[in-house]
Amino acid sequence: MATKLTARRSRKTSPTSETPLVQGLLIALSLLFMGVILLLPLYAVFHEALIKGPGAYFAALLEPDAQSAIRLTLLVAAIAVPLNLVFGVAASWAIAKFEFKGKAFLITLIDLPFSVSPVISGLVYVLLFGAGSVLGPVLKSYGIEVLFALPGIVLATIFVTFPFVARELIPLMQDQGTGDEEAALSLGANGWQTFFLVTLPNIKWGLLYGVLLCNARAMGEFGAVAVVSGKIRGQTTTIPLQVEMLYNEYNATAAFALASLLALLALVTLVLKSALEWRFSAEIAAGNH
């Protein structure tokens, strides 16, 4: 009986694949799970946001504090993402192309923000730059406010989003090796020419992918930013903080209207990411010579 079953199945499907019934069940289960956990909440966000009609929705978005939160979020991302792009490329370049002592330690360090709770990340900056710290009062005497101001928010965001670009690039650059760079150097190119004409084009899709993820996280970061921002309405609240404050004030429509912006950002990121993955995998396969 068993041999008969195996023989029958092997004619239809490959040995590693399951019977259609099992396949169907697994697919249905994952769809159901995603529906409940992911799609339903997403729908709820937009539903709540638009429950009082488009008028209330846009009024909530145009409200001055909301506008200020949107501006601050964009500003923070505009500073943190390019910086992490540079740090990420530099770190992955060092890790993938050079041999040095402490390389494993550096890789662990890059992963640190992933393993530390964002609240802790925020608290670290409070300890470093707060009123009771050494650095805080010194900087304050020069008129530089770090905590409860833009610099603190940017620092916390950089910390939390640092791994995204580097994590994306390290395996890619390790896989590509140093052959292309050596070829460029042997042809007389200098270091900058080699980087901009050879290395960067080789990693551009992976880089873009990392930047997208980094940006999504930078705009959506809550925990670390909440600790360092001080939540001064209209001044140091980013979109996620503003959403929470509005929600706590039972202003559900306004909260969800703002939240829908973040959800929209997530959707756009997802679409771009899929498009890149499609493009990126084709390039990797083709470039594998």
Could you say whether residue 21 binds another protein (CB under 8 A)?
Answer: no
CB atoms within 10 A of CB 185: 15
Query: Are the C-beta atoms of residues 221 and 160 closer than 8 Å to each other?
Result: yes
Could you say whether residue 28 binds another protein (CB under 8 A)?
Answer: no
Q: Is the Cβ of residue 53 or residue 177 nearer to another protein in the bound state?
A: 177
Q: Find the binder of another protein among 55, 179, 248, 250 (CB under 8 A).
A: 179
Query: Are the C-beta atoms of residues 76 and 150 closer than 8 Å to each other?
Result: yes
Count of positions (residues) in the chain? 289
Could you say whether residue 197 binds another protein (CB under 8 A)?
Answer: yes
Print the SS3 string covering 233-262: CCCCCCHHHHHHHHHHCCCHHHHHHHHHHH
Report how far apart, in Å, the C-alpha atoms of 137 and of each of 142, 148, 235, 269 are: 9, 14, 21, 40
Number of residues that bind another protein (CB under 8 A): 19
Query: Are the C-beta atoms of residues 224 and 183 closer than 8 Å to each other?
Result: no
**Least distance to another protein, CB of residue 92, Å:** 19
Binding segment toward another protein, per CB under 8 A, in 33-41, 42-50, 183-191, 253-261 = 183-191
Q: Find the binder of another protein among 18, 145, 182, 277 (CB under 8 A).
A: 182
Could you say whether residue 188 binds another protein (CB under 8 A)?
Answer: yes
**Least distance to another protein, CB of residue 193, Å:** 5
Q: Is the Cβ of residue 202 or residue 235 nearer to another protein in the bound state?
A: 202
**Least distance to another protein, CB of residue 100, Å:** 12
Q: Find the binder of another protein among 108, 117, 193, 274 (CB under 8 A).
A: 193
φ, ψ (nearest 5 deg) of residue 42: -60, -45
- Rounded distance between C-alpha atoms, residue 75 and residue 62, angstroms: 18
Could you say whether residue 141 binds another protein (CB under 8 A)?
Answer: no
**Direct distance between the N- and C-terminal alpha carbons of the chain, in angstroms, rounded to an integer:** 48
Q: Is the Cβ of residue 21 or residue 285 nearer to another protein in the bound state?
A: 285
**Phi-psi category of residue 253: left, alpha or beta, with phi > 0 → left and psi -120 to 50 → alpha:** alpha
Could you say whether residue 137 binds another protein (CB under 8 A)?
Answer: no
Could you say whether residue 289 binds another protein (CB under 8 A)?
Answer: yes
SS3 89: helix
**Least distance to another protein, CB of residue 237, Å:** 43
Question: What character string, x for contact with another protein (CB under 8 A) and - otherwise, covers 247-286?
Answer: ---------------------------------------x
SS3 179: helix
Query: Which residues make up the interface to another protein (CB under 8 A)?
Result: 179-180, 182-190, 193, 197-198, 201-202, 286-287, 289
